[in-house]
Amino acid sequence: MTIDTIFKTYIDLKTPVLDSHVIASYLSAYNTHILPRFGQREIDTLSYVDFQKFANALTASGKKPKTVKNILSVLTGIYKLAIKNDWYNGKIYPSMVELPKFDNKFYIPFSPDLQKRYLTAIKNFDEPIYKDIFLFLLHGRRLGEVLNLKWEYLDLSSGMVYFPAANNKSRKNLSYELTDLLIERLRVYQLESFDDQGTVFVTGYVFKNPNTGTKFKDLRKAWKRLLDHAGLEYIKLHAVRHLVGSYLVNELKLPLIEVSYMLGHSDTKITQMYVTVKPRVAKNATQALFDSLKTKDEMYVEKLNDAIELGECIQAVLFSDKKDQDLNTV
């Protein structure tokens, strides 16, 4: 059986369970690199040497090792499907290929103060819809997860959001508690959806582009406006995740286990560490981030409100006996 025949079955099986952008990346890798070289080859005629030479050629052409690894992962998926269906009973040669070592870490070249300026600019952005999408990113979510978020995955009464495996990069069902700030903002969109759909059982995308009536696809212009307004140098929107993670770990000193859960990392070693961590952990990490971004005035008002609330509680306790005596007298 040829590689091309197996791939067609492979992609048909994966399409219903994986996000559309993942399927698009698989198709691109296959059509651009794999099909021309291996498409018409019978799977049992290929050897380890064929794939090692293939990877070497890709690397020599300027492809980064991480990119080559992603291309090989498509071939690995093809081999695994062939084995499951008894179309092939040999070794998974693509997974045996050796690649140059590479550092996949993302380094933040900004000072802590500059990192805080970026995060604060997002928190204080005042353009409707865009502000709340970016606010969701401060919760550690990926942009694709937010743009694809539907009402059926939100439970505002319990303050929970769910990301099914098909809609997130880790390919695991994820659940997180939302901060009060985000719940308050989402209720605004929920009420609007009640009116638009004429029912409390709303469906569809949470964040809709008012011009198209469907989900947003490109936020680069809005992101640039945010940065220009704050006088900040342009960085990619995806870098927000890295800013959040770096700031929480290095500046707020939150445990790596909590930040890992918040960001939904799929690394096996980290997953084993936080597998028993509750969804509240992500909320605690996000709340710590927001608390660190508060101005002195905001902290003063918050403390004042707490003092007023405490005073009312004390008053209630001090005069509760007197109130009972008055009632008995009557």
Encode the chain (330 residues) as per-residue pLDDT tens digits: 999 999 999 999 999 888 787 899 999 999 999 999 999 999 999 999 999 999 999 999 999 998 999 999 999 999 999 999 999 999 999 999 999 876 555 556 678 889 899 999 999 999 989 999 999 898 888 888 899 899 999 999 999 988 877 666 666 777 888 888 889 999 999 999 999 899 988 999 999 998 898 999 889 999 999 999 999 999 988 888 888 888 887 788 877 777 777 777 655 343 233 233 445 566 777 777 778 888 877 766 666 665 555 455 434 433 444 444 444 444
**What fold is seen in the domain 3-96?**
DNA polymerase; domain 1 (1.10.150)
Q: Is the pTM of this model over 0.75?
A: no
Question: Class assignment of domain 115-292?
Answer: mainly alpha
With b for 16 or more beta-carbon neighbours within 10 A and e for fewer, the 114-140 pattern comes to: ebbebbebbbebeeeebbbbbbbbbbb
